[in-house]
Amino acid sequence: MKIFHGIVVILLAQLFTAAYAADQSVNVYSARKEHLIKPVFAKFEAKTGIKVEYLTGKSPVLLERIKSEGAKTKADIFMTVDAGNLWAAAIAGLLQAYKSQELDKNIPSYLKDPQNKWFGFSIRARTIVYNSKKINPSELSTYENLAEKSWNKRLCLRTSNKVYNQSLVAMLIDQLGESKTEEIVKGWVQNLAVPVFSNDTRLMEGILAGQCDVGIVNSYYYGRLEKDKKHGDLRLFWLNQNTFGVHVNISGAGITKHAKNLENAKKLLDWLSSPEAQNLFADLNLEFPANQSVTPAPLVKAWGSFKHSQKNIAKAGYLQAKAIKLMDRMGYK
Ligand code: FE
């Protein structure tokens, strides 16, 4: 009897340890790079005692992994860049809604899923970078204007395969309608100085090398050059200030449908929206905090304040297929 009692005690102790371990961790699958999330998660761990386990990879690969792992997935949170990617995860049924007072308070409604399945934690602006030796900023104005003949053989663009451009065109469709957006994209393609670039950094190097005068990039790529003092005569310009404002996108996260550590996942998302986390999360990548009460990093703040589009970023997802087809029709490679 005594032996039996002892076994029960040991079993109970093991059960308790297992429950305790599960209780003290949260698993993240992240398309946001390791050096951008590690310090953020370390701070959360130090504050809460909840261990953040993570693996990183390309967004579509992680998404497929969560899909194929099904109910057995280890992922409690899917973290990625671009609303188009978050939207795809939600549409595939991989995320669950989380209604939170903290997130409602800290994150503006246009930067999150209307169904609360994902939330933006940083903002990136997709705007113009230009050669200040060749262009007076008074010549610059709007996304639409870059389709004008005056920019013939002066424009550089990144490939339309990148979700950043798909989201940009989707948001233009939302703002201006499909036929107007067709005209714009057609004009852009006609104005290309050289074939499309594989990434934003190469595009900026193209401008610096004199291949073109102006291009469209995410603000933080320009920030990286500036931080390394490699930006030369490049400058940022905020587009559409007299109309709908600069197109912005997010990096963000949502809780997976089969999250095992649900309470910890909720705690992590809530905390990510707090001023304490926001500075780290946005500043590490020279992005803008999604929480509007938080000041950006000094380098980013020095770019000045600007008007950005406040249309719900979920539209980038809803209109993604339409945007891809439109770019293809207009010959945007
Ligand atoms: Fe990027």
User: pLDDT digit string (tens) for 144-192?
Assistant: 999 999 999 999 999 999 999 999 999 999 999 999 999 999 999 999 9
pTM of the complete model: 0.91
Residue 18: pLDDT above 50?
A: no
And the tokens for 159?
Answer: 């490939």
Give the lowest-confidence range in 17-26, 196-205, 256-265. 17-26
Distance 217 CA to ligand 1 centre (A): 9
Q: Report the distance separating Cα 264 and Cα 281, nearest Å.
A: 18
Among 108, 191, 114, 125, smallest CA distance to 157 is for 191
- Identify whether the C-beta of residue 82 lies closer than 8 Å to the C-beta of residue 54: no
Distance 225 CA to ligand 1 centre (A): 14
pLDDT in tens, 66-75: 999 999 999 9
80 C-alpha to ligand 1 centroid (Å): 10
Q: How far is CA 231 from CA 36, 129, 236, in A?
A: 22, 10, 10
Distance 48 CA to ligand 1 centre (A): 30
pLDDT, tens digit, for every residue of 46-57? 999 999 999 999
For residue 122, how far is its CA from the centre of ligand 1 (angstroms)? 12
- The CA 164 to ligand 1 mean position distance, Å, reads 8
Instruction: Tell me how far the alpha carbon of residue 17 lies from the centroid of ligand 1, in angstroms.
Output: 41
Return the structure tokens found at 6: 């002892």
Cα(41) to centroid(ligand 1), Å: 20
Distance 199 CA to ligand 1 centre (A): 9
Give CA–CA dist 176/186, Å, rounded: 15
Q: What is the pLDDT of residue 10?
A: 52
Give the Å distance between the CA of 20 and the centre of ligand 1: 37
Whole-number percent of the chain with pLDDT over 90: 93
Bridge partners, 80 (sequence order): 252
The Cα 119–Cα 253 span in angstroms is: 6
User: Which parts of the chain are beta strand (E)?
Assistant: 25-30, 51-56, 77-81, 95-96, 119-131, 155-156, 214-218, 234-237, 247-256, 288-289
Query: Given the structure tokens 């996260």, which residue do they identify?
Result: 253
How remote is the CA of residue 1 from the centroid of ligand 1, in Å? 64
Distance 117 CA to ligand 1 centre (A): 22
Please give the CATH number for the structural domain made up of 124-247+315-329.
3.40.190.10
CA 32 – ligand 1 centroid, Å: 9
Q: Which CATH class is domain 2-123+250-294?
A: alpha beta
Q: How far is the CA of 311 from the centre of ligand 1 (A)?
A: 21
Query: What DSSP designation does 294 have?
Result: S
Question: What separation in Å is there between the alpha carbon of 4 and the centre of ligand 1?
Answer: 59
Distance 155 CA to ligand 1 centre (A): 20
How much distance in Å is there from the Cα of 275 to the middle of ligand 1? 23
With beta carbons less than 8 A apart as the criterion, state whether 327 and 184 touch.
Answer: no
Q: Which amino acid is at 115?
A: Q
Task: Provide the b/e sequence for 51-76 (b: ≥16 CB within 10 Å).
Answer: ebebebeebeebbebbeeeeeebbbb
Q: CA–CA separation, 315 vs 320, rounded Å? A: 8
Q: How far is the CA of 73 from the centre of ligand 1 (A)?
A: 26
Q: How many CB atoms lie within 10 A of CB 248?
A: 28
With a cut of 90, say whether residue 23 has pLDDT above it: no
The boundaries of every CATH 3.40.190.10 domain in the chain are: 2-123+250-294, 124-247+315-329
Q: Which DSSP symbol is given to 295?
A: P
**What is the distance in A from the centroid of ligand 1 to the CA of 220?**
8
In the structure, what pLDDT confidence band is assigned to residue 17 with cuts at 50, 70 and 90? very low
Report the chain's mean pLDDT, rounded to a whole number. Answer: 94
Over residues 105-131, the mean pLDDT reads: 98
288 Cα–ligand 1 center, Å: 14
